[in-house]
Amino acid sequence: MKRPDKKNIVIFASGSGSNAQRLLEHFEHHPSIRVAALFSNNPKAYALERAETYRVPAFLFNREDFYHSDKVLEQLRQFEPDLIVLAGFLWLVPQNLLRAFPNRIINIHPALLPQYGGKGMHGRHVHAAVVQAGEPESGITIHYINEEYDKGTFILQERCPVLPGDTPEALAARVLQLEHRHLPLVVEQLLTEQDQQEKKD
């Protein structure tokens, strides 16, 4: 059977999309991996404009589409995703998508899970809680997702210090640097491994 020319990444993003931007940049001229589409639940997400800049198709959906229909699943299938990356996407992923893409959906979380995860723990809330608790360090967790918030198998954790006097914003900026450095590399590695596995099978 003919192999597809490139591996496809689909990004889900709800907000600014700076991690989406890093993926768009990293894979723009990649020989074997592309960002095929970006999906968002937020019509005001700046991530949508970033996708447009890179001529990557973008799709908007609402709660009804996501949780009570197969509309998102059908749109996703058009892009034959090899990996779905939640990059600042805040909704729990429904069963129909988990079943359709087993071990193919990953999330980036701006803390060292299993601490500082779960419903409502996103963005600034995470960093505020870490600073408030007086933690000496924080970091990032890249993990597969499952039906619970922030509970799937870890792929990578990286750490950074929490410095005396850090505000949540200062910590967020340090953690975001880690995210930007590692997310494209982890995505590239997972897809490369997937490709090597398929060549063996």
- Residues marked active site are found at 109
Provide the minimum distance between the beta carbon of 94 and ligand GAR in the complex, in angstroms, as a whole number. 17
87 binds ligand GAR (CB under 6 A): yes
56 binding ligand GAR? (CB under 6 A) = no
Contact 98/145 with Cβ under 8 angstroms?
A: yes
Task: Answer whether 135's CB lies under 8 Å from 162's CB.
Answer: yes
Decide: is 152 part of the binding site for ligand GAR (CB under 6 A): no
Helices (H), the chain: 18-27, 46-53, 63-68, 71-77, 95-100, 123-132, 168-200
What would the x/- binding string for ligand GAR be over residues 7 to 26, using CB under 6 A?
------x-xxxxx-------
Is the CB of residue 92 less than 8 Å from the CB of residue 105?
no
Q: How far is the CB of 118 from ligand GAR (least distance, A)?
A: 9
- Residue 139 found at the interface with ligand GAR (CB under 6 A): no
Q: Is residue 176 at the binding interface for ligand GAR, with CB under 6 A as the rule?
A: yes
H helix intervals, 57-136: 63-68, 71-77, 95-100, 123-132
DSSP state of 187: H
Smallest distance, ligand GAR to C-beta of residue 72, A: 18
Q: Tell me whether residue 76 or residue 85 sits nearer to ligand GAR (CB atom).
A: 85
Which one-letter DSSP state was computed for residue 136?
S
Shortest CB 111 distance to ligand GAR, Å: 8
**Position 108 contacts ligand GAR (CB under 6 A):** yes
* Nearest to 110, CA basis, from 136, 133, 66, 141: 141
- Nearer CB in complex with ligand GAR: 36/126: 126
CA dist., res. 66 & res. 143, Å (int)? 21
Q: Report the alpha-carbon distance of residue 130 to residue 36 in Å, rounded.
A: 35
Residue 157 near ligand GAR by CB under 6 A: no
Q: Which stretch binds ligand GAR (CB under 6 A): 27-35, 55-63, 69-77, 120-128?
A: 120-128
Q: Which residues bind ligand GAR (CB under 6 A)?
A: 13, 15-19, 87-88, 108-110, 122-123, 126, 176, 179
